[in-house]
Structure 1
Amino acid sequence: MKITDINAKENVAQYVQNNQATQGAQQAEREKQAAAEQSQATDKVELSAASRDIQKIQEVLKNTPDVRAEKVQELKSKIESGQYRVDAREIANKMISDLIQDLS
């Protein structure tokens, strides 16, 4: 038994047309929502506690003088009075110790 529908082509065409219209409307709605979300989106930056600590340390270092004037004056006084003595052996030992530590 063969059943034929005279309007089969029209029904399929109508279905395809309705389906395309529905998909088009859904796509338009998705694009509209995406545009709305994008327009509402804002950038937000939060600094960690470590970052804030680093900023504080950098500020303190920026305000700290490069030369400690009181230490320089103390050494100048010792040199001028002849009290400042350099122990070459102690310096050499310290340099070698630092080098060994750096290499390990």
Structure 2
Amino acid sequence: MSKKRFNKPRLHCPHCGEFMMVRSSQEVMPTLRKGLVDCMNNECNFRGQFWFEIASTVAPSDMPNPDVHLEPTPFLQKRMAKQYEQEHQIDMFQSANDANHS
């Protein structure tokens, strides 16, 4: 199920500060789009090209695409390392019980 968004991210004109409208965009790669934007201020009329990149993973996908490889953020790296340690930590009491039953 998709998450609903009520407000779209907006780009501001680097010259006058007004909102910019995306005129076109195309996918370059699954993590990268490029496109054209126009300033909405009729007195400014700036037009530019933008690049939108998803640069890293903050929370891993539950439906990962095997063709997409994004580095985890340092925060996620620490969280994953801690989870790995917890899952692979030797249970001292279990080891002692196993030794007594041998």
Judge same fold: TM > 0.5, yes or no.
no
Structure whose residues are more often strand by fraction: 2
Larger Rg: 1
The structure whose RCO (Cα within 8 Å, separation 6+) is larger is 2
Structure whose residues are more often helix by fraction: 1
TM-score (norm 1): 0.25
